[in-house]
Structure 1
Amino acid sequence: MLDKKYLTLKESVKLLLDYIEFRCLSFEIVSIESAYNRITYEDILAPENLPGFKRSTVDGFAVRSQDTFGAKETMPVYLTVKGHIPMGVAPDFSLNPGEAASIGTGGMLPEGADAVVMIEHVNVVSSDLIEILKPIGPGENVIFEDEDIKEGELVIPKGHKLKPQDIGALAGLGISQIKVVKKPVIAIILTGDEIIPYTEKVTPGKIRDINSFTLAGLIDLAGGIPLKMGIVKDDYKELKAIVNKAYELADIILITGGTSAGIKDMTAQIINELGEPGIIFHGVSIKPGKPIIAGVCNNKPVFGLPGHPVAVYICFELFVKPVINKMLGLTDKTYKPKVKAKLTKSISSQAGRRDFIRVYLEEKEGELLATPLLSKSGLIMTLVKANGILCIPEDLLGFEKDEIVEVELL
């Protein structure tokens, strides 16, 4: 039977986020070259019109559109070619009735012109005379000076994660520096007498550090700065000292190991002693990751993550990442890519518990198949081999073989 004291995933995440202040981190000013994937701290408004001048979208002839009305191949309109407009140069003449100017794609229209006739619809009679074979309307084949964006309009809202195209737009507007939310520093503390640095040789009973590297990568991808605090033995005084140090240096603290019941379970006690209100919840009805601890100590989030590598990954995505997003003030809607696939074997779950199953996706004969990688959460290689995660909701007892399921891509 499921232990009723554990919160559901939805309940626990909501409870936790209620304690987190939105956009509680300060800002810094950075150049746009280093602003990729950063979160905007304030609205960015256009300081000028873009592109700033009327430009052609085709190769052809700039004209006064009314001069082309009635033109057709059997009865063309004749216009005098007043000149040529080189790329990157503002024309030093204007068009009068009956005049045209040759222009390339991206060229600036002269005064008086309001359209561009494509070269395909023009017959060049001589260097200073053309025939227009098709009428054209005002604004046709033209980008106007404020068509991309007008001065004073919102370019990028605050709380937006900057994409490459956003940086390109800022450069096009001449914006070189912007305010972004400071990246949160996230401390990683490993606990356990059995953990050794990855550089050491494994002896019976010892395992190399996996979790600090997994977490450091996840933190970097989530927009934070990982701060590795090292490996701490299962000693209360030593662990408390390193947690206190992390509390001074970091915005979020992650402690791996020490969350399961047992005589060495000190994480919960230390979190409660760190500040108010302390632990928000201990244990959630999920698998893997059931024994997770989440606390807030004087407005600083502190997590006790399970020691198993797969559980660490799952708990970070489910609990730590939403906290980071709220602290950053991220307002973008985030959508994880998902696909439909046919399950290659049946999998079961416990009622009232949400299970996260690693799966391997492969296409065979035009059909996408999902093969469950069933193993204990202490084995990292299933996560390495997996390219998707299948969630079994609390109200289901599993999925049957050949059932079409929704898989979240890793």
Structure 2
Amino acid sequence: MKFFSVKSVEETFQLIQEMVTPIQETMTLPLFEALHFVLAEDIIVRENVPNFRRSSVDGYAVRAKDTFGSSETMPGFLTVTGEVKMGQEPPKEVGSGEAMYVPTGGMLPAGSDAMVMIEHCEDISGLLNVYRQTAPGENVISIGEDMQAGTVLLTKGTKLRSQEIGALASQGILEVRVWKKPVIGYLSSGDEIIPMESKDLLIGEVRDINAATIGSLVKQWGLGFIYGGIVKDSREELERRTKEMLEKTDCLILSGGSSVGTKDYSVEVIESLGEPGVYVHGVSIKPGKPTILAQAKDKPVIGLPGHPASAMIIFHLFGKAVVDKLQGLSETRTKLTFAKVTKNIPSAPGRTDYIRVRLFEENHEWYAEPILGKSGLISTLVKSEGMIEISYESEGVHKGEQVPVTLFL
């Protein structure tokens, strides 16, 4: 077996984009059921929003030129001729030297072209004292300024969040066509792995931690998850179980068995699942070097390292990229923040390092404290809230340096 034709992190992400193909099955869902699904078509704006000129402030609709030169020391004077009620048309138009009260969101009367904020004027028994001049279009939302009929509202490949659902509702769109969500299958392998519910451990046994961690991440991303259980170190058994799981899922994840060893059949078994087979076996990264990525016909297969921290970081990086592409997402949104590192972190050039960190705030600044430890330590995951990347070109980061932090959300 050829082991570790190591790829860089950038090469790995590029290969994922080239090799993974989105699920082609679509479905039409009612709007309230479409949250976190990915659009399978462009959505075109049907009608202008707003479809009338609307005030963005509480104040008075005026002709802007009537306010020119107004100031605190020399106010302008306008006659108040009425009031616009919410949801109703103005009672009449605004003429020269006139003003009409309009609440936020109300319709501007004909003849007016600007709004004077209520803070900048004073109504004294129908005589409006204006203490600041305004410009044409000021504090006014024009017809179609928010959404213009005929333009693209949402593009194919957009993941529907609550704000996109609201935008669709504003157009009276009650159902949308979306890509089917992928179902992710998971198998653990290794003679030492035992079920999570096991009461007593024998020497050398380990509960199936990765199934819980990876399964929770999949569900957190809003996808289906099937836990296939534990496979002992038997090539025949692993091959049988992986083929069974691949039949009923859209993506298969294997944990453990990706490093060199006499009982390691993972690559050979994955290759047997279908063409084109393994395209990444080893990434120049720490932790997580023995990572496997493959494509069995139209289904991705991911081989994760057995150590919990390695498995979680690799799945956050490459697993997320795979399932995002599988869903047809046009782009992947990474949850980032920025913080100052609390200590020097050395790194070896030629390898990308990912360091778990704890975030805390002090004197109105955010800091990232490295949680250092071996990749098999579960406690480093519990203590960490994100990770920082040290690129393969770098020899490390210095204390006090501002760095981007990928959040574990």
2:27 match: 28
What SS is found at the alignment partner of 1:29?
A: strand
Out of 402, 405, 408, which is 1:408 matched to? 405
Matched, 1:10 2:7: no
Gaps of 5+ in 2: none
Match of 1:192 in 2: 190
Alignment of 1:109-148 (within 5 A): 109-119=108-118, 124=123, 126=125, 129-131=126-128, 133=130, 136-148=134-146
Instruction: Classify the secondary structure of the residue corresponding to 1:214.
Output: helix
| Counterpart secondary structure, 1:344 | coil
Percent identical among aligned pairs is 41
Map Cα deviations across residues 236-278 of structure 1 (whole Å, 9 max, x no partner). 3332222112211111110111222223212222211111122
**Corresponding residue for residue 104 of structure 1:** 103
Matched-pair contact (CA < 8 Å) for 2:334–2:406: no
Q: Which runs of 5+ in 1 are unaligned?
A: none
The answer to whether the aligner puts 1:291 opposite 2:294 as a matched pair is no
Which residue in the other structure is 2:244 paired with?
A: 245
SS at match of 2:272: helix
Aligned to 1:313: 312
Quote the RMSD (CA, aligned, Å): 3.2
- Within the candidate set 145, 162, 165, 1:164 is matched to 162
Counterpart Cα distance in 2 of 1:244 and 1:253: 10
What is the distance in 2 between the residues matched to 1:365 and 1:102? 45
C-alpha contact (below 8 Å) 1:85/1:103 kept by paired residues: yes
Quote how far apart the aligned CAs of 1:195 are. 1.9
Q: What is aligned with 1:264?
A: 263
Counterpart residue identity of residue 406, structure 1: V
CA distance in 2 between counterparts of 1:70 and 1:12 reads 63
Aligned to 2:57: 58
- Offset at 1:399? 5.4
| Residue of structure 1 equivalent to 2:175 | 177
TM-score norm. by structure 2 comes to: 0.85
Q: Is the 8 A contact 1:68 1:132 kept in 2?
A: no
Residue identity matched to 1:11: E
Alpha-carbon contact 2:187-2:228 (below 8 Å) kept = yes
Aligned to 1:323, what secondary structure does the other structure show? helix
Question: Secondary structure of 2:184's match?
Answer: strand
Distance 2:257 2:75 in 1: 88
Deviations 1:131-171 (A, max 9, x none): 45466544333222222121112222222233333332222
Aligned pair 1:40/2:39, yes or no?
Answer: yes
Aligned residue type for 1:287 = K
**Structure possessing the higher radius of gyration over alpha carbons:** 1
In the TM superposition, residue 63 of structure 1 has moved relative to its aligned partner by 4.0
Corresponding position: 1:79 with 2:76? no
Q: Which residue of 2 aligns with 1:355?
A: 353
Partners of 2:281 and 2:75 in 1: how far apart? 84
Corresponding letter in the other structure for 1:181: W
* TM-aligned CA deviation for residue 118 of structure 1: 4.0
Taking structure 1 as the reference length, the TM-score comes to: 0.85
Q: Report the CA distance between 1:185 and its aligned residue.
A: 1.0
Deviates more, 1:157-166 or 1:92-101: 92-101
Q: 2:381 is paired with a residue of what secondary structure?
A: helix
CA distance in 2, matches of 1:405, 1:136: 43
Cα distance in 2 for residues equivalent to 1:403 and 1:136: 47
Q: What CA deviation, in whole Å up to 9, does each residue of 1:29-59 have, x standing for no partner?
A: 2333333333222222211111211222333
Distance of 1:308 and 1:30 partners within structure 2: 39
Q: Name the SS for the 2:212 alignment partner.
A: helix
Equivalent residues of 1:222, 1:324 under 8 A apart: no
Task: State whether residues 161 and 332 of structure 1, in contact with CA within 8 Å, keep that contact through their aligned partners in structure 2.
Answer: no
Hey, what's the Cα distance between the residues in 1 that align with 2:329 and 2:77? Answer: 57
Whether contact under 8 Å (2:278, 2:293) holds in the other structure is yes
Contact 1:202 1:208 in 2 (8 A): no
Contact 2:352 2:389 in 1 (8 A): yes
Q: Which amino acid aligns with 1:167?
A: I
**8 Å contact 2:80–2:101 — kept in the other structure?**
no
Deviation string for 1:87-120 (max 9, x for gaps)? 2223354455665543322222334443344445
Looking at structure 2, the residues matched to 393 and 42 of structure 1 have their Cα atoms a distance apart, in angstroms, of 37
Q: Distance in 1 between matches of 2:369 and 2:101?
A: 62
3-state DSSP of counterpart to 1:274:
coil
How far, CA to CA, are the matches of 1:71 and 1:40 in structure 2? 51
**Cα pair distance change 1:252/1:103, threshold 3 Å:** same
